[in-house]
Structure formats: C-alpha cells, structure tokens
Amino acid sequence: MNSIEPLADLQTQHDATEARAGELREQIQHLTATLAKTEARLAVLATTRKVVTELAPAGGEPEPSGTNTAYQAIANAFNKHPDQAFRARELHELLGIPTDEATVDVTRARLGRLLRQGFLTQPGRGRYQKRT
C-alpha cells in the first residue's frame, strides 16, 4: 500500500474539517452578535414596561383608596339621579366638592373613564347621564 494515498486522504479530510470549523466560527460570531442585540432589546423592553407600569397602573389593579372614594361618590350621585344629566361642575356642586378648574378637570377624566366603561352615557357635549 502506498503511504501517499492515506496522507492525501487525511489532508483532504483535514482541509474539509478546517473549512467546516471556520464556517461554524462565523456562525458563532453572527449568533453572538445577534444574541447581544436581542438581549439589549429585551433590556429596553423590560425598562419600558416598568416605567409604563409605574405611570399607568393596569385596569385590574385597584385605584388608590381616595380615587375609589371619588368614583364611588360620582356613581352614587348618578344612582340617586338616574334621569338627570350633569356637567362636571354641576356634579361638584351637588357633591360639595371644590369647583376649581384643576379639580373639575380630574372629575372630567373620571367621567370619561366611566363613560368608556359603559356606566354613563353622554347625551350632549360635556354632559353625562347614567346608562339605563
């Protein structure tokens, strides 16, 4: 048996294996870079979720107790006067709440939320009534 043939075969296998190893190294570099980008994106998303959660509590989370009391007072007023439409300022006067603009704006926002939840209807611009 000629010793040159096995050596040539070994060299061919070595060259093919070396080429494959190079391809795998390139894939590892590509995957490592892609993984780094993906992990950075995950970090940004986690931070964004944390900030959004802190700024706007999810609908399933309870409102602070003062807010629940305000919503309850508004709901009670509409329950006592189901056929009457109120403006936010009129509701404040009925409930004995201060009528400064900032406080009325907060109530407008609460009325909008109750409207979106289906508790109230809006028979006219700026007027709210209990849904029957």
pLDDT in tens, 102-115: 889 999 999 999 99
Q: How confident is the model at residue 23 (pLDDT cuts 50, 70, 90)?
A: very high
pTM, rounded to two decimals: 0.49
Please state, rounded to an integer, the average pLDDT across all residues of the chain. Answer: 85
The residue whose two tokens read 């940004």 is 44
The percent of residues above 90 in pLDDT, for the chain, comes to 42
Q: Is the pLDDT of residue 54 over 70?
A: no
User: Cα separations (Å) of 7 from 1, 15, 21?
Assistant: 12, 12, 21
Mean pLDDT of 115-130: 92
- Convert the pLDDT of each residue in 57-82 to its tens digit: 545 445 555 556 888 889 899 999 98
Q: Is the pLDDT of residue 83 over 80?
A: yes
Mean pLDDT of 94-100: 89
Q: Which residues does 88 contact at the CB level (< 8 Å), separation at least 6?
A: 104, 107, 108, 111, 126, 128
Can you give the length of the chain in residues?
A: 132
